[in-house]
Amino acid sequence: MIEINNSQVELKFRRDISMFTNVSEDRKIGYVAFDNVISPDESTYPRTSNKALIPEDYPVVMSFTKIKSVNALISELQHIKENMIEETNLEEEV
């Protein structure tokens, strides 16, 4: 769920956020857009659309102009995942 409180936006990933990915036509900007799930049957996995992603259509958008920045985010998410698995001593869900 996307929650906006004062000056902070919190993305609470509980299978109720849709993610959309795309790149600009010139391929210089990559986007990840987030929105609340409208239907319980709607998939929460990232989807790439062939149509232009209009950032103003989404409450939260991440934009990347450098591949290094994408790699940095992936690295941090991987670190979180490893710590969560280690802390809970559970096998990763598929």
| pTM across the whole model | 0.73
pLDDT of residue 74: 96
Asked whether the beta carbons of 24 and 63 are under 8 A apart, the reply is no
The tens-digit pLDDT sequence of the chain (94 residues) is: 888 888 888 888 887 788 888 998 899 999 999 888 866 665 545 565 556 788 888 889 999 999 999 999 999 999 999 988 887 765 555 4
The neighbour count for residue 62, using CB atoms within 10 Å, is 15
Residues in the chain: 94
Find the helix or strand (DSSP H, E) in which 78 lies.
helix 67-88
Strands 30-36 and 8-11: unpaired
Dihedral angle sign, alpha carbons of residues 75, 76, 81, 86: positive
pLDDT at 48: 57
**Distance, C-alpha 20 to centroid of its chain:** 7
